[in-house]
């Protein structure tokens, strides 16, 4: 069996940056073993398998709203093409203030005595969001040494499955300007640091919207690869995330 295969760098317009993911187009259902074998062969954090729900569907077909709808194991995902990227439609997830004393050991294990300005927790995603002091800048977040090795052994394991570090943007600083920065770590599920994470911005979006008084924001995830996201909060309680995409490999997989 020969399958069309792509590697796409998401949330960037430049190859070898952003979040790399493999995309495999399949005509018929593959068994779970085949999915796992292909994913291990790709050796990336994400491998997506796209199959038409109806034989008459076309992978490149557009509806009247220029939107493609994907039925995924995590629910329905809608994507539409914009002039300068692809827009993904996500739900928003609220957070609540987290008592420092309950997570102090986890935070100190990860980042030591770095100054913390706010701590929030998302029960829907089990992500702990730590906002660093406004006295720090982007370079500090980018070069911060984060120790993820001991985190799965902390007392908060079970409650926390991901750690978001975030920082307010720098007005009048670098060009282009960003409203906020972030990094994401999930050693609890085998991801030391994720290059760019769309799902964390379902938390970061509403948090920074309230802090900054803005509905439209530009974000940068400060991983080694780096990635840019345009965040737009909608009146219906959802969020649009726009980012670029660069196809860096296109070929045929023989199974």
Active site residues: 46
In whole angstroms, what is the distance from residue 146 CA to residue 46 CA?
23
Dihedral angle over CA of 51, 56, 60, 64, nearest 10: -120
Long-range contacts of 21-28 (CB under 8 A, 24+ apart): 21/45, 21/46, 21/47, 21/48, 22/46, 22/47, 22/48, 23/47, 23/48, 23/50, 24/48, 24/49, 24/50, 24/253, 25/50, 25/51, 25/59, 26/50, 26/51, 27/51, 27/52
């Amino acid at each position: 069996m020969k399958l069309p295969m792509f590697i796409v760098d998401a949330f960037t317009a430049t190859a070898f940056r952003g979040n790399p993911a493999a995309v495999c187009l399949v005509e018929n259902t593959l068994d779970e073993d085949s999915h796992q074998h292909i994913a291990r062969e790709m050796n990336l954090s994400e491998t997506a398998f796209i199959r038409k729900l109806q034989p008459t569907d076309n992978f490149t077909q557009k509806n009247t709203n220029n939107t493609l709808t994907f039925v995924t194991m995590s629910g329905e995902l809608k994507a539409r093409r914009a002039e300068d990227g692809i827009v993904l439609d996500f739900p928003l997830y609220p957070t609540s203030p987290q008592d420092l004393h309950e997570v102090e050991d986890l935070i100190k294990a990860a980042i030591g005595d770095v100054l913390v300005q706010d701590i929030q927790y998302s029960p829907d995603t089990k992500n702990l969001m730590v906002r660093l002091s406004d006295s720090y800048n982007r370079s500090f977040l980018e070069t911060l040494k984060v120790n993820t090795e001991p985190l799965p052994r902390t007392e908060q394991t079970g409650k926390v499955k991901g750690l978001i570090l975030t920082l307010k943007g720098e007005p009048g600083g670098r060009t282009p300007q960003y409203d906020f920065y972030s990094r994401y770590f999930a050693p609890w599920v085998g991801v030391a640091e994720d290059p760019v994470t769309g799902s964390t911005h379902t938390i970061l979006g509403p948090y920074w919207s309230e802090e900054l008084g803005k509905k439209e924001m530009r974000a940068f995830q400060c991983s080694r690869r780096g990635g840019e996201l345009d965040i737009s909060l909608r009146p219906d309680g959802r969020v649009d995330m726009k980012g670029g995409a660069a196809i860096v490999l296109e070929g045929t997989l023989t199974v």
